[in-house]
Amino acid sequence: MRSTFALAAFALAACSASDEATDVQSAAETATKAQEATESFPSAGEYEPSPAQLAADQSFSSILIETPLVDVQDQLQELRENGCERYRECDWQDRNKVRYYFWGGPGELRLVAKHVDAQDFVGRSIPALGIGTARTREDVLDRVHAFIPGSQWRCEAHLGTCFEATGKLKPGWVRLSWNDDDTLASVELHGYHFT
């Protein structure tokens, strides 16, 4: 379903070109780009994380990316603080304060992202990505680089200060966010692009 939607959107964009020769070329290029884009959206049973991503996933919790909500719902508490989306795509939380986001159609919700708020781990270790008791930007980055050696990171900076760092995995990514005082705010794992 996602592939069809993406192809239709790219095809519509290609049809708006004014030159007829360009229309054909744009449509062909667009179809190729659409196919490449949708290849990163796994269907059920097609998700294949790299070893680094699998290790990152397991470091958050034993509930792994692509797990159906129905299989683990009894282990989680539904959080409705920000409301829920159409098919109950709410945040969920386990007893260790790891948050989960499930996405999909009715009856097909699968885990696509995990999240840890550092404020929920005051005075205790964060198992995700080997962070442990580290909380300063430098210490957290050292621990995460040791946990995911060779990973590529991009920093989002404001006024010369890195407030968010994103590390590429395959097919997903990890995002680290900091408070104004350079202490860890949150850690996220996204299994893949799901929207």
Backbone angles phi, psi at 32, to 5 degrees: -65, -45
**Per residue in 85-104, pLDDT tens?**
665 667 899 999 999 999 88
Can you give the pLDDT at residue 21? 35
Cis peptide before 51 (omega within 30 of 0): no
DSSP state of 130: G
Can you give the pLDDT at residue 18? 30
- CA 114-91-172 angle, 5° bins: 30
Coil/strand/helix, residue 140: helix
Domain boundaries of the chain, sorted by first residue: 2-38, 51-190
* Per-residue pLDDT band at 139 (split at 50, 70, 90): very high
Mean pLDDT of the chain: 78
* Per-residue pLDDT band at 75 (split at 50, 70, 90): very high
